[in-house]
Amino acid sequence: MTLTFIHGGTVVSATGSQLLDVLVDGETIVAVVQPGSTALGADLTATAEVVIDATGKYVIPGGVDGHTHMQMPFGGTEASDTFETGTRAAAWGGTTTIVDFVVQTPGERLQDTLGAWHQKAAGKCAIDYGFHQIIGEVNDESLKGMSELVSEGVTSFKLFMAYPGVFYSTDGQILRAMQSAGDLGALLMMHAENGIAIDVLVEQAIARGDTAPYFHGTSRPWQMEEEATHRAIMLAQLTGAPLYVVHVSAKQALEQIATARGNGQNVFGETCPQYLYLSLEEQLGAPGFEGAKWVCSTPLRSRAEGHQDELWRYLRTGDVTTVSTDHCPFCMKDQKEMGIGDFSKIPNGIGGVEHRMDLMFQGVKSGKISLERWVEVCCTTPARMFGMYPRKGVISPGADADIVIYDPNGHTSIGLGKTHHMNMDYSAYEGFEIDGHVDTVLSRGRVVIDDGNYLGSAGHGRFVKRELSQNLI
């Protein structure tokens, strides 16, 4: 067992920051003590096998990204990051745990699809991983299968109010799934957009000749997100199921979530960096076909309407519970280009698993969120939300030694040939300059990133058997 001693740094938690030293024995944190403490006995800077000087830097829990899609089949193609390339990129960016989505399509058993995703990931991941389950067909067999999956550590299930003919569930199916989730204590996740109405708007746009990527955004207006979010909240209230609304982009949808939370309902909202930084006008509206790089659903929203500022505000008030990436990368060549002349054929997805910690730290630098809130929404609350706390998301004795040494005075340039390690031929954040830098990353005590070098390996990451959500009211 390797003894690792991290000294001189400021340990940041969701509740405060303090100069502390951290001792790791093998894969586990065994002590967090005041600098110079004699409680640990010998001079660990001389006796520990690995010594990390974190002076002037932050020592934070490894990031937990609760929403990724590695190797996800979608729209006639597949997400370009494998579990190997995607988890390696995550490690570069200070994320040490992901929760990915198993996909059930009609005619498949939940248990069989989970087995298929285990085969995809096993022996490939550089960091630890868990699974959510997408229910693509709500029927008696799937509802029965939910119980079996919970016992196997898959304790959250996702439904779609969008994508008719692919993942779409009717209100009656959603009601039944929520009833089952409520009985099990499992978390029901929701892609909340009115897919039936959106399909009409898309048809009408294409018929008018409005085929550029910009019209992907205008054909999925905020009213479709607000309406579906409200409907999901009402169904959750009726059934008593805890509800987690994924990738919220519209300020009106978040207002619905904030109202429900104010009434004491177990409703949680997730947003993503793209909705805080990017916009309909600047990215989707880029000249020619360039806007295809930023086609995702829910779509980027109008900066003129103030969605981005309101999302930051809801992040400060706590009505945004977590920040994930919805990492679902597609290359421009041969993938996004499938939609030239018809935006509805562009694969929906943005890659960002590598950049979440850096992008959210910019909120600290600009005064939009506190240092502690950064750790809370990127590390601690996702671990609690998805049943991995206190094993993940905290620097505390007994926790896994998932630790990031972050230099607030460092600098990161995002883009190809710079810090982009995702399996994509472009970056959604090309040209962003970040005040801050991930210096060293430990995954269960093993140094996987250090001083610009990747030291990890495929197969180091293990499947995390999750408990029920620890973040309910």
Instruction: Name all domains of the chain by residue range, CATH numbers in brackets.
Output: 64-386 (3.20.20.140)
User: pLDDT category, 38, cuts 50, 70, 90?
Assistant: confident
The residues, any chain, with a CB within 8 Å of residue 130's CB and separated by 6 or more, are 97, 98, 99, 100, 153, 154, 386, 388, 463, 464, 465, 466
Share of the chain above pLDDT 90, in %: 94
Mean pLDDT for 77-104 is 98
Contact between 419 and 431 under an 8 Å Cβ cutoff? The reply is no
pLDDT at res. 417: 67
Give the C-alpha distances (Å, rounded to integers) separating 65 from 154, 164, 218, 371.
Answer: 16, 27, 28, 18
pLDDT at res. 90: 98
Contact between 2 and 44 under an 8 Å Cβ cutoff? The reply is no
Cα of 233 vs its chain's centroid, Å: 21
> What mean pLDDT, rounded, does the chain reach?
96
Q: Specify the length of the chain in residues.
A: 473
For residues 370-395, one letter each, b for 16 or more C-beta atoms within 10 angstroms of the residue's C-beta and e for the rest, the string is ebbbbbbbbbbbbbbbbbbbbbbbbb
User: pLDDT category, 46, cuts 50, 70, 90?
Assistant: confident
The pTM of this model reads: 0.97
Mean pLDDT for 136-159 is 97
